[in-house]
Amino acid sequence: MTLHREGTTIMLTSLAITIVLAILNSLFLYHHAKFLSIGLDVLLLVMLFLVVQFFRIPTRHAEYAENQIICPADGKVVVIEEVEETEYFKDKRIQVSIFMSPLNVHANYYPIKGKLPFVKYHPGKFLVAWHPKSSTDNERTTIVIKNENGTEILVRQIAGAVARRICYYGQEEQQVAQGGELGFIKFGSRVDLFLPLDTKIDVKLEDKVQAKLTSIGFLS
């Protein structure tokens, strides 16, 4: 397991704050309220641990079958439905949405290999990730991957009420690898996939899924 580079500043700042508060605690509180002081130290350590674990990147290796779509994020499947995708395809697609809690790994990965014909960032609101308008009103990115057969799928990173920064690394016309790093969402949110209608879906609602390991389905 490693720690993601996006968390370097936050983790170092959290460590510095923890050290300062622990020193002040030992100087001014320990001799007057020992048990309260110890409890505060434990709370500081727990908070630091939660910040650090949020940026963890577990080591994962898997082999993928031809036309397989791998899961782009850790979390829970909250939507599987046919919808009208209005930004890029402007037609009907199967939407599969994965909700990421603050306890999930928050790195995102490319579900297929191919070229990026469309990459766009949208500033926006910070509605809760399960709000019906979060996919169109929240801060988000839209990334389209086109495989060698010409089939395109769309990945959308969506910020939530807690998530306040979406990081994405791809540029238009870039060639990307399946399982390569797509981006990172800080402190919980959602990833939507928009797939062709004839995609064979392998997941079900409420399934807990893991990035790079869970099969979302297969392209025809």
Which positions are catalytic?
Answer: 189
Burial degree of 119 (CB within 10 A; 0-12, 13-18, 19+): middle
Beta strands in 21-129 (DSSP E): 56-57, 68-70, 75-85, 91-100, 107-109, 114-122
Q: Convert 58-96 to b/e letters by CB count within 10 Å (16 or more is b).
A: eeeeeeeeeebbbbbbbbebbbbeeeebebbbeeebbbb
Residue 57: count of CB within 10 angstroms of its CB: 17
